[in-house]
Amino acid sequence: MKKPNWGTSIVIAFVLFISFILYFIIKVQSNSKYNNELVVEEYYKHDAHFSDEMAKIQNAEDLAEKPLIINSDRGVTIVFPNSFLPNEVKGKVSLYRPSAKILDFEYPLRLSNSTMLIPKKDFAGGKWDVILSWSYQGKEYISKQNIYIK
Q: What is the mean pLDDT of each run of 10 residues along the chain (150 residues)?
A: 84 95 86 63 71 90 90 88 87 86 86 87 85 92 89
* pLDDT the model gives residue 40: 61
Yes or no: say if 81 and 65 are a contact pair by the CB < 8 Å rule. Answer: yes
Alpha helices in the chain (DSSP H): 6-30, 43-48, 50-61
Task: Give the closest residue to 76 by CA, choosing from 1, 146, 5, 3.
Answer: 146
Torsion (CA) 46, 47, 49, 55 in degrees, nearest 10: 120
Amino acid at site 72: S
pTM recorded for the entire structure: 0.69
Residue 112: strand pairing partners = 115
Yes or no: say if 103 and 97 are a contact pair by the CB < 8 Å rule. Answer: yes
* pLDDT the model gives residue 35: 61
